[in-house]
Amino acid sequence: MPPARPLSLVTGASAGIGTAFARELAARGHDLVLVARRVERLEALAAELRERHGGAVAVLPCDLADPAAPDRLCGELERRGLAVDWLVNNAGYGVPGSFVANAWRTHADFLQVLLAAPTELAWRLLPAMRARGYGRIVNVASLAGFVPGSAGHTLYAAAKAYLVKFSQSLALENRAAGVNVCALCPGFTWSEFHDVTGTRAKMDRLPRFMWLTAEEVARQGVAAVERGKVVHVTGRVNRAIKALAELLPDRLALALSARESKRYRQLEE
């Protein structure tokens, strides 16, 4: 049985889907641990959630690009006596430009945030969830994990595909112990993601029916992991794109990806 007030840890909680997850879980009666780099945003969100829902909200500023961050974060949770029931691995971003156009340090930080950190946080928090017989892990992946990789965001699709496969294995290993694991795979989502990568003007050319709000993505993610769904692609349009990508021959799918990359990605060398 879930606790009366589950405790949810949300990474990347200062904006976009992370903020939406925090609000959705608080509205469902969860206490929260908010994790991100931008302290002011976290404090403002925490104050909002305490006032609106009355739960406990802890703010733990953390830069997950630091390889030591997951260990420190879990150590602070233990020091405060906080037992995490829900882990939402949401922190992430994109690196625009070709692979060789960016410094290795840029790529290393990206891999640390999108691959190593969520993997380590799951490894550190899972044993206690299993011992209590209850837990939920949502790994925010992407529709990009199912379609051919695109030029201009070289590591993004690869990282998201990893999160999908990782979630599937974790789900199989932990379901009998009462821990549900879900890879949440949104498509285009209204957030500051494309503003940060400098592709907003290009992405705004896409038709509006292809976009979902961060709030809708979070609602679907919470519902999916509660149902025990292992992989959830948000929205009918995105599910149709996934199905089409799986049916197309690789050569044709890559050709389509190359064409779209020129329209919507930054390809500077």
Sign of the C-alpha dihedral computed for residues 215, 220, 226 and 228 taken in this order? negative
List the structure tokens of 58: 């802890």
Mean pLDDT of 239-256: 81
From 48-52, 66-70, 152-156, 251-255, the region with the lowest mean pLDDT: 251-255
List the structure tokens of 164: 């999908």
List the structure tokens of 42: 């976290």
Whole-number Cα distances in Å, 222 to 2, 82, 98, 180, 211:
14, 21, 35, 11, 19
Mean pLDDT of 107-112: 98
From 43-47, 68-72, 145-149, 184-188, the region with the lowest mean pLDDT: 145-149
Q: Which of 93, 134, 156, 264 is catalytic?
A: 156
Domains of the chain: 7-264 (3.40.50.720)
The pLDDT tens digits of the residues spanning 145-183 come to 998 888 888 999 999 999 999 999 999 999 999 999 999
Query: Which one has a higher pLDDT value, 83 or 97?
Result: 83
Long-range own/partner contacts, residues 175-179 (CB < 8 A, 24 or more apart): 175/228, 177/129, 177/130, 177/133, 177/135, 178/129, 178/130, 178/132, 178/133, 178/134, 178/135, 179/126, 179/129, 179/130, 179/134, 179/135, 179/136, 179/137
Confidence of residue 200 (pLDDT cuts 50, 70, 90): very low
Mean pLDDT of 206-232: 89
DSSP letter assigned to residue 148? -
pTM score: 0.88
Q: What is the identity of the amino acid at 21?
A: F
DSSP letter assigned to residue 112? I
Contact 169, 139 (CB under 8 A): no
Confidence of residue 185 (pLDDT cuts 50, 70, 90): very high
Indicate the burial class of 42 (C-beta count within 10 angstroms; 0-12, 13-18, 19 or more): buried
Catalytic, 156? Answer: yes
Does the pLDDT of residue 98 top 50, yes or no?
yes
